[in-house]
Structure 1
């Protein structure tokens, strides 16, 4: 008898849990459907399917072709995907559908989404939890994009103390978007007489009181006295949502409560970026997040100061390299613990044969941008090396060096009957993008639409080609983190990672081709091959140990972390 009661109670609990989960999924779906209906209403292709009905499976059905995901990414970070690279037809083949999903997933990684354990099949089948997880990340990136002083200089107002004096601007510039949003929210709540400081968007706001105060301050004309008077949390939350609905879809952008004056406009003009460092910050931040580490890196130079995020990346790239017993997990109260973590990072880097001259743990803690970028470049290069090393059997046991990759690329292109060839990763002809397009077409003829290609002569034509190349490479399945400017300016480090990524895909998907073994050795003596690399192969092998040599050149590849070099920009950009 007692057993029967126990079983009944368990079954009832299971049913309630299932019902609760279904309600949450439906509510989540309705939120995303509303966002899609608003932001994609004028899309030339998708408008024929909109508005979506949240009460049906419209969202899942539309997501199956991959177009929706790509369009959402371009709304979040405009220009990420070359629109004409998306397969947009009423009826798509399995190949075209898979291309769209692969393009979407790799582009999602490139804007900062974590897509670990999410595959194209998950999206085609419309698995709710995985699809919602991805859509939520994309929408979050979109909505938080302007939460910085560069795009919204009015935020400098939240730094003023009670006497009207500005506090530390550098502190706000280093905060993650969510932290900036909290700072803005608490600024208004304090002005409105709300005495509690909100430290998170979960437990501190679950009673909806903070939201009620905030909306009353921003839009008092839509306020309802019942919102704060009611004791029922559900009723208050409902009234808050009604209030927000009357204010419009973009509360921060339309009613942020911040004034615009000459002081803030002047401040906006004074906020300047080092272009190359800004690109590197974005590139390495997105790459680190794509590895699936637990720490979400929002601001590269701030978030690596504890050393923990770098240790996580090292453990992903070189499994087992980190002795976690010697590391301290954030939050870290004492400065010395941060230095110890960062010293451990440098020590592991040295054991992996990175060049860490003049780099100490305290440099990372102090946020030395150029030294951090130099270390991260070597870490990214090591990751590429490990991938290529795993494919070395395809090369007949030969070391995969820079000359080897260039010879492979030239041979692939020549075999298609095309004429473009390159001599190095800094070959100026790469700026037109034509060699990359011919290489992509050589490894998979279906992936390039030649009617979209320009001659690559003017800056605009080069940009169009470069944007298309990045989208096509991602559509093929390459996980890359470069910008069109990297191709246009022939950033040799990024040229290396792009060609190496294409090579990896080719070797993984076409191992049966005759480019293994002796077929590859011919690439070194072919007339189409570049001049032999100036790198001493024996020296490179001894320097990298068991890892294949992959040098750009002696000066640029093995980065000596020297302040004098960075003053000239040589170690980063050459």
Structure 2
């Protein structure tokens, strides 16, 4: 009621508010865009006129504490309480929540607090695992998972399904020779699988800061679902790009270039893809989201009819259904004709579950994109390099917001760079000097100003940035941008070691190299490393021997080519070394190719990560 001096939310309301917030936060970044505010409030049962939403957006921008132009959960909660104080939406919110019968309350995680868990997500993810891993011999004892119970949280506890799912999303991430598959009642064997899973998940860009061995071993529902969604999402969206689908050029709008299309996120591309097929189907509608705009199933019905093979028998009959949920069910039966009934139920469609509807559409795209590039259209596609992909995955694993999809365009406002600086050295960024919400008339100037400050910060922390200016970063200068990112990644890697050392002195490369050789000598190994460019590193053997010194008896030498005779032998050793390093606890982002090609920079990060593990083990002993 108006006039209240204070308003409090009960714990169940806070949990439900968080769950609703997360349903809008499709990319799992922990925040929503300002233009999603009206949608988020409507999900809570608070429908406001558009002009009032705009007023709220302006007020939020002015009071935005961290000036990022977005709303995190705490800011959204504060806004909701303010609205509740002015007008009693409490009963509306309760009514909205009471209708969401798929929400369960669980207690768990390292903090021991209460969390909301969606039955629909549990069902969707369990069904996806059943479908995609059913032919894997190692998974057969675990499948099928019963999607209607908590069976999923029990089956993932030992780490095997999680490791397999990572490889299903990003093939060859994990060398499956390193997965523990027997005697998994032993805690330490499950711990190793969890290390392997979580460190591999980081390497493909998952943010797993708040989940650990104890959480997986307990099958903590909200954390397991969060991890599963990140892994599945990465797999679903990984091929939604011009490299995999040159036909995406058909989605270009008037006046746009290929570069404009490449700047779009996978979610934005999918929305364009749906609208492209809706236009071709002469459907009198377009969508702008995967929540409210698809609730009536009409867009989906036209889309399915448009993209399906003509002999599949997919038709527009669902449009004849008057009841929304019956129409959604009829639409999904059409999707089943092309084996694309996945992730959503009729209720998920009608409720506008943005996360699961994104997954449904991504799966449709991956199966039937129906985009044929015209023969007379020449498209120059610049593929993402291995180095760029590694850096992008590292950034995303750090939890930066927004998600980095394309390295250069996503860095040109400087905001991602500032977040990384702040992670590496807390407090080094003067946020008062950072522009977070850009004026349309001055955006270019403001973004260049941010990039200039980012370069200045680099110089303050002793980065080598001779000849680098803010405009170089804004323009996406490949060499200079990669040089800055590498130094950020290196600084992060060494900061972990620095925090463990007895003094606060910078960790130098020669110190890491000395530790490696001392450790090898201590383990009575005959090999040594002269530098991070040592040709012997191409075989992977020095790294494997170092892991053996750090964690004795973990390396299965039957899996190692002890006298490699070819690049193929070297690659097998390198794959085994990367996965074994992650299995013993090292947060390795480098790839096997980096070892075989002796990429000195990435070799250094491998040794630094293993040094961190070695120091921790020495402390525990």
- Fold similarity call, TM over 0.5: yes
The CA deviation at 1:355 is 2.0
Check conservation: 2:184, 2:190, Cα contact below 8 A.
no
How far has the Cα of 1:397 moved from its partner?
8.2
Alpha-carbon deviation of 1:17?
7.8
Compared CA separation, residues 401 and 309, structure 1 to 2 (3 A): closer
Among residues 146, 149, 162, which one is paired with 1:69 in the alignment? Answer: 162
Taking the TM superposition and a 5 Å limit, the aligned residue runs for 1:147-158 are 147-158=240-251
Question: Which residue of the partner structure matches residue 21 of structure 1?
Answer: 103
1:381 matched residue in structure 2: 490
2:481 aligned to which of 361, 372, 380: 372
Per mean C-alpha deviation after superposition, the further-off stretch among 312-321 and 150-159 is 150-159
Superposed CA deviations along residues 134-158 of structure 1, whole A, max 9, x for unmatched, are 1111111111122111112222233
Identify the match of residue 188 of structure 1 among 277, 281, 296: 277
Equivalent-residue separation in structure 2 for 1:253 and 1:18 (angstroms): 30
CA shift at 1:473, angstroms? 0.9
Q: Can you give the 5+ residue segments of structure 2 that lack an aligned partner in the other structure?
A: 1-9, 11-89, 106-116, 341-362
Aligned counterpart in structure 2 of residue 361 of structure 1, from 470, 489, 498 = 470
Give, in whole Å, the separation in 1 of the partners of 2:130 and 2:168.
Answer: 13
Structure 1 residues 37 and 420, CA, compared in 2 at 3 Å: closer, same or farther?
Answer: same
Identify the match of residue 313 of structure 1 among 420, 432, 436.
420
How many Å apart are 1:470 and its aligned residue?
0.7
SS in 1 for 2:545: helix
Partner-residue secondary structure (3-state), 1:147: coil
Which residue number corresponds to residue 531 of structure 1? none
Give the alignment of 1:365-444 within 5 angstroms.
Answer: 365-393=474-502, 400-444=507-551
* Residues 450 and 362 of structure 1: CA distance in aligned 2, closer, same or farther (over 3 Å): same
Aligned to 2:575, the other structure's residue is in SS state: helix
Of the three residues 118, 126, 143, the one matched with 2:236 is 143
C-alpha distance in 1 between matches for 2:211 and 2:99: 25
Instruction: Flag the 1:55–1:271 CA change in 2: closer, same or farther, 3 A.
Output: same
Asked if the contact 2:249–2:258 (Cα under 8 Å) also holds between the matched residues in 1, the reply is yes
Instruction: Give yes or no for contact 2:178–2:580 (8 Å, CA) kept in 1.
Output: yes
Deviation of 1:62 after TM superposition, in Å, equals 1.5
After TM superposition, the structure 1 = structure 2 runs for residues 243-258 of structure 1, keeping only pairs within 5 Å, are: 243-249=334-340, 250-258=363-371
Q: Deviations over 1:517-560 (max 9, x none)?
A: xxxxxxxxxxxxxxxxxxxxxxxxxxxxxxxxxxxxxxxxxxxx
- Distance of 1:225 and 1:110 partners within structure 2: 43
**Deviation of the 1:245 alpha carbon:** 2.1
Matched with 1:535 is none
Count matched residues: 495
- The answer (yes or no) to whether the contact 1:308–1:330 under 8 Å persists in 2 is no
Query: Contact between 1:426 and 1:492, CA under 8 Å: does it hold in 2?
Result: yes
Q: Distance in 1 between matches of 2:296 and 2:511?
A: 62
Shift of 1:45: 0.8
Per-residue deviation, 1:90: 5.8
Give the distance between the partners of 1:332 and 1:67, measured in 2 at CA: 49
Cα 1:225–1:484 change in 2 (3 A) is closer
Please tell me whether residue 227 in structure 1 is matched to residue 318 in structure 2: yes
Give the TM-score taking structure 1 as reference length. 0.80
Distance in 1 between residues matched to 2:248 and 2:267, nearest whole Å: 13
Q: CA deviation at 1:160?
A: 7.2
**Equivalent residue for 1:487?**
595
- SS of 1:423's partner is coil
- In structure 2, distance between residues paired with 1:77 and 1:227: 35
CA apart distance, 1:329: 2.2
Cα 1:425–1:244, aligned 2, differ >3 Å: closer, same or farther? same
Task: State the distance in 1 between where 2:366 and 2:233 align.
Answer: 14
Are positions 1:198 and 2:287 aligned together? yes
Of residues 172, 178, 192, the one that matches 1:79 is 172
Counterpart for residue 551 of structure 1: none
Judged with a 3 Å threshold, the aligned counterparts in structure 2 of structure 1 residues 512 and 316 are, in CA distance, closer, same or farther, namely closer
Instruction: Write out the 4+ residue segments of structure 1 that deviate beyond 4 Å after TM superposition.
Output: 12-15, 17-20, 220-226, 260-264, 396-399
Q: In structure 2, how many angstroms separate the alpha carbons of the residues matched to 1:194 and 1:17?
A: 31
Show the counterpart of 1:125. Answer: 218
CA deviation string 1:336-372 (max 9, x = no partner) = 1211221221121121121222212111111112111
Q: Give the distance between the partners of 1:464 and 1:448, measured in 2 at CA.
A: 14
In structure 2, relative to structure 1, the CA distance for the partners of 1:57 and 1:339 (3 Å cut) is same
Q: CA deviation at 1:81?
A: 0.4
SS in 1 for 2:598: coil
For 1:450-506, what per-residue CA distance to the aligned partner results, in whole angstroms no more than 9, with x for missing partners?
111112331011101111111011111111211111101111111111111111111
Match of 2:135 among 27, 42, 57: 42
Structure 1 residues 149 and 512: CA distance shift in structure 2, 3 A:
closer
* In 2, Cα distance between equivalents of 1:429 and 1:447: 22
Structure 2 residue 265 is matched with structure 1 residue 176: yes
Cα deviation per residue 1:164-217 (whole Å; 9 max; x = unaligned)?
xx9512222332222222221121112222344423223333333322221232
Residues 195 and 332 of structure 1, relative CA distance in 2, 3 Å threshold: farther
Tell me, yes or no, if the aligned pair for 1:176 and 1:298 is still in contact at 8 Å. Answer: yes
Distance 1:272 1:398 in 2: 41
Say what the alpha-carbon RMSD is for the aligned residues: 2.8
Q: Distance in 1 between the 2:193 and 2:376 partners?
A: 46
1: distance between equivalents of 2:331 and 2:104?
23
- Which residue in the other structure is 1:464 paired with? 572
TM-score by length of 2: 0.74
**Any gaps of 5 or more consecutive residues in structure 1?**
1-6, 514-574
**Matches of 1:402 and 1:367 in 2, distance apart?**
29
Per the TM alignment, residue 28 of structure 1 is displaced from its structure 2 partner at its CA by 1.4
Taking the aligned partners of 1:98 and 1:201, their CA distance within structure 2 comes to 38
Paired residue secondary structure (1:446): coil
